[in-house]
Amino acid sequence: MSEKMYEMLLNLMLAVAAATAICLLIFILLLVGNLVKKSKKLPKVSLMLTIIGASTVGIYVYNHFNNLDFLPKVELNPSAVVSPDGQYKIRTYHYNGLFYRTARAEAVDLKSGKSKTIYFNDYDRSPAVQWIGNSMVKIGRETLDISKNEVFDFRDNLQANKSLPPQGGI
């Protein structure tokens, strides 16, 4: 996902979250008003808008924290490593900033041009990439088989080694 698309989606979700909060406030005010009047009428439209908005924001938040496709590319490391058979290329990226200390790698199928994030690690900047075979690659400490769609995401194993993995050139 491009940085511009990521920013646009984030702004859209912030707007949906704000609209959901307003709908929730209206729902609560209508509900309290009905309780004061001793009316048994439930404000259904406001309730439905709140549920739809909360669901949309919830799906976005889940994807933001659990889906490798939602990671922005940020800064491309200059080295890209092509597989021995010339079918794949691994590109690595790093995140700059005070709290960003993560790196990601994507495998690009050179025939189709499609790319997929296969590595996302904390305490990393420019992981060393070494091909072991035509579809086996070692990125940092992790060995992945691209033909089997293996991926590494540090968020799936928070007890993992927190030391800096082997680094390539930046």
Residues listed for the chain: 170
Supply the pLDDT for residue 137: 92
Q: Is 11 left (phi over 0), alpha (psi -120 to 50) or beta?
A: alpha
Amino acid in position 161 = N
Does residue 99 carry a pLDDT above 60? no
Q: What is the pLDDT of residues 4-60, one digit of tens each?
A: 666 677 777 778 888 888 888 888 888 788 778 877 777 777 778 778 888 888 888
To the question of pTM greater than 0.75 for the whole model, the response is: no
